[in-house]
Amino acid sequence: MSLRKSMVNRGLLILTCFFSFVIQLCLASKTRHFKWEVEYMYWSPDCMEGVVMGINGQFPGPTIRAVAGDTIVVELTNRLHTEGVVIHWHGIRQFGTPWADGTASISQCAINPGETFIYRYKVDKAGTYFYHGHYGMQRSAGLYGSLVVEVGEGQKEPFHYDGEFNLLLSDWWHKGSQEQEVALSSKPFRWIGEPQTLLINGRGQYNCSLAAHVTNSSSPQCQFRGNEQCSPQILHVQPHKTYRLRVSSTTALASLNLQIGNHKMVMVEADGNYIQPVAVDDLDIYSGESYSVLIHTDQDPSKNYWISVSVRGREPKTPQGLTILNYQTTSASKLPTSTPPVSPLWNDYNHSKSFSNKILALMGSPKPPTTYNRRIILLNTQNTINGFTKWAINNISLTLPPTPYLGAIKHRLSNAFDQKSPPENFPNDYDVMKPPTNTNSTYGNGVYMLEFRTTVDVILQNANALATGVSEIHPWHLHGHDFWVLGYGEGKFREKDAKRFNLKNPPLRNTAVIFPFGWTALRFVADNPGVWAFHCHIEPHLHMGMGVVFAEGVHLVKDVPNHALACGLTGKMLMSNYSHH
């Protein structure tokens, strides 16, 4: 009923937009309409054929380009035969539309095979974003794409550029995502291993490295005509111009480092927020993050240059991902004569920390409140539960309930999840530098209920994992908000560390990393009515329980589509309401 009404209302505006879309002008229209079908299909992302989760026959999914203030409407049809699906719009805060956040069991019921769900939300802030599956490990299966929001009409970016490119980075396994889920959930635990290939815009080269052409490597040298699914997308540039590269990482596991031979990069945007311009030779990017960098094409225009992506933070067993920066004054098929840039050592954490500390808010950006109302300390540990290997936060490993939280909280269905609030801290005598003495933890699905419009500090505390001397990187992503990154530190967080918080120009972001054996302090204002996931963006870690759930102002949430509630206890409620009227 309401669906049909809104479709009639949209009528003419959408048409205008469809036609003008081609020329990137959509002046009159503010609604951008997409019809998507998600399906498994054969694809060769790295020259080896496998099965990917594609959208409308494409991998990665179509890029959405919009202007700040626009409304995006995606009619998503599930053409997978035996599993549900949802899509999360990573970095879009979903003010007023928390049901469109695309998190299964949190904001909505997974969309059943054959069904269509309509996502409708506003993109309120210019920036570089992406979207991806948020059910099981569907992101690993290849369900992702880019979402670029340009500044609104009459607005200007605080920097100039002549052209732009999109670099969506991901990692790829030859073992399918469903087998990976089984491996991670097995007793004894089976690790999925490192990815076979790093992909740039969904393209990589397994067993036929481009670099083999210029090194003495014995691996075969692939020749590309350019139309292969795995041939690298070459960036064609003019000399003496400035280009914006929009780089985002939707990797399942890998932390990455990006370099461009001979070219410095000036970072200007992080996660949809402007930052103080800072020149770097190489850029660290963790899963869930995005950056814009400017490059100036001031190098020898008779040459081409490598763009290389390599693994950080884990001993790399995956070759560099490569593509080429081509000065159009020379042939695009000419490979750079030098070897690709060598990235910093995978375990040079000092390099990574110094990089993270260079990222500061652009002058004039919103500043954090100077005090907080509530501080939640979240200890990240690896544990066992009945012999299964898990990750836990304050000793609780998250297992999502069958009834989505948003509907459950709004309709006060107290049987839908643990009503007890999860712990705000961990035992004082817990030694974060040593493996747990008792490795047991428990499953849970409780919610941190936040008072609406209060300021919340989160201290993410890293710790030793199950093996002695091992502590991993975890990039934490918050849905529904940006947070200020107040600081990073070593060892166990102490009260005195709070005196060193950066309250002057902390960057606003939606993803921040905790370094091995370290802590990271975040601050955000709970001003967005809804239920929001906060989790490690490494997909196997989330699958193993590494996340928590925040809720605020849910009584203010209106117009949740019934389709978002049609499962679990909210589904039963809908049926009983229907039979009573």
Ligand X SMILES: *[C@@H]1O[C@H](CO)[C@@H](O)[C@H](O)[C@H]1NC(C)=O
Residues that bind Cu ion (CB under 5 A): 474, 536, 538, 541
User: In Å, what is the CA distance from 406 to each residue of 411, 416, 549?
Assistant: 9, 11, 11
189 touches, from Cu ion, ligand X, none (C-beta below 5 to 8 Å by class): none
Q: How far is the CB of 390 from Cu ion (least distance, A)?
A: 12
Q: How far is the CB of 49 from ligand X (least distance, A)?
A: 11
Nearer Cβ to ligand X (21/388): 388
Each residue 394-433 as x (binds ligand X by CB under 6 A) or -, in order, gives -x---------------x---------------x--x---
Q: How far is the CB of 517 from ligand X (least distance, A)?
A: 12
Give me the residues paired with residue 325 across strands: 235, 305
Q: How far is the CB of 208 from ligand X (least distance, A)?
A: 7
Q: How far is the CB of 380 from Cu ion (least distance, A)?
A: 7
Nearer Cβ to Cu ion (105/255): 255
442 touches, from Cu ion, ligand X, none (C-beta below 5 to 8 Å by class): ligand X
The overall longest dimension of the chain from CA atoms, in Å, is 76
Q: Pseudo-torsion of CA 466, 467, 468, 469, nearest 10°? A: -100
Question: How are beta strands 163-172 and 242-249 bridged, if at all?
Answer: parallel
Spatial separation of the C-alpha atoms in residues 3 and 23, rounded to whole Å: 30
Spatial separation of the C-alpha atoms in residues 87 and 142, rounded to whole Å: 12
503 touches, from Cu ion, ligand X, none (C-beta below 5 to 8 Å by class): none
Q: How far is the CB of 374 from ligand X (least distance, A)?
A: 21
Please report whether residue 438 would count as binding ligand X according to CB under 6 A. Answer: yes
Q: How far is the CB of 152 from ligand X (least distance, A)?
A: 35
Nearer Cβ to ligand X (127/435): 435
**Contact criterion met (CB below 8 Å) for 480 and 435:** no
Q: DSSP secondary structure string, 509-547?
A: ESEEEE-TTEEEEEEEE--S-EEEEEEES-HHHHHTT-E
Nearer Cβ to ligand X (266/466): 466
Residue 481's nearest CA partner among 446, 523, 541, 521 is: 523
Q: Which stretch binds ligand X (CB under 6 A): 37-45, 118-126, 253-261, 438-446?
A: 438-446
Three-state secondary structure call for residue 577: helix
Length of the chain: 581
185 touches, from ligand X, Cu ion, none (C-beta below 5 to 8 Å by class): none
474 touches, from Cu ion, ligand X, none (C-beta below 5 to 8 Å by class): Cu ion
Spatial separation of the C-alpha atoms in residues 389 and 439, rounded to whole Å: 10
Straight-line distance from the first to the last Cα atom of the chain, in angstroms, rounded to the nearest whole number = 16
Taking CB under 6 A as the criterion, which residues in 198-237 touch ligand X?
Answer: 207, 215-216, 220
159 touches, from ligand X, Cu ion, none (C-beta below 5 to 8 Å by class): none
Q: How far is the CB of 280 from Cu ion (least distance, A)?
A: 25
Please report whether residue 328 would count as binding ligand X according to CB under 6 A. Answer: no
Nearer Cβ to ligand X (133/529): 529
Q: How far is the CB of 65 from ligand X (least distance, A)?
A: 35
Nearer Cβ to ligand X (223/328): 223
Spatial separation of the C-alpha atoms in residues 193 and 180, rounded to whole Å: 10
287 touches, from Cu ion, ligand X, none (C-beta below 5 to 8 Å by class): none
154 touches, from Cu ion, ligand X, none (C-beta below 5 to 8 Å by class): none
Spatial separation of the C-alpha atoms in residues 88 and 139, rounded to whole Å: 10
166 touches, from Cu ion, ligand X, none (C-beta below 5 to 8 Å by class): none
Spatial separation of the C-alpha atoms in residues 386 and 64, rounded to whole Å: 44
347 touches, from Cu ion, ligand X, none (C-beta below 5 to 8 Å by class): none
Nearer Cβ to ligand X (65/411): 411
Nearer Cβ to Cu ion (62/316): 316
Spatial separation of the C-alpha atoms in residues 30 and 152, rounded to whole Å: 11
Nearer Cβ to ligand X (155/442): 442
Taking CB under 6 A as the criterion, which residues in 440-479 touch ligand X?
Answer: 440-442
Nearer Cβ to Cu ion (492/541): 541
Q: Element (H or E) spanning 474, and its range?
A: strand 474-478
Nearer Cβ to ligand X (153/559): 559
207 touches, from Cu ion, ligand X, none (C-beta below 5 to 8 Å by class): ligand X
Question: Does the bond joining 369 to the residue before it have cis omega, within 30 degrees of 0?
Answer: no
Three-state secondary structure call for residue 383: strand
Tell me how crowded residue 316 is: count the other CB atoms within 10 A of its CB.
16
> What does the H/E/C string look like for 401-442?
CCCCHHHHHHCCCCCCCCCCCCCCCCCCCCCCCCCCCCCECE
541 touches, from Cu ion, ligand X, none (C-beta below 5 to 8 Å by class): Cu ion
| φ, ψ at 394 (rounded to 5°) | 50, 45
Each residue 360-399 as x (binds ligand X by CB under 6 A) or -, in order, gives --------------------------xx-------x----
82 touches, from Cu ion, ligand X, none (C-beta below 5 to 8 Å by class): none
Site for ligand X (CB under 6 A): how many residues? 19
CB burial of residue 413 (10 Å; 0-12, 13-18, 19+): middle
Spatial separation of the C-alpha atoms in residues 556 and 96, rounded to whole Å: 9
Q: DSSP secondary structure string, 36-85?
A: EEEEEEEE-TTSS-EEEEEETTBSSPPPEEEETT-EEEEEEEE--SS--B
Please report whether residue 189 would count as binding ligand X according to CB under 6 A. Answer: no
**Contact criterion met (CB below 8 Å) for 329 and 305:** no
440 touches, from ligand X, Cu ion, none (C-beta below 5 to 8 Å by class): ligand X
Taking CB under 6 A as the criterion, which residues in 243-282 touch ligand X?
Answer: none
Q: How far is the CB of 50 from ligand X (least distance, A)?
A: 12
Nearer Cβ to ligand X (155/338): 338
Binding stretches for ligand X (CB under 6 A)? 207, 215-216, 220, 339, 350, 386-387, 395, 411, 427, 430, 438, 440-442, 573-574, 577
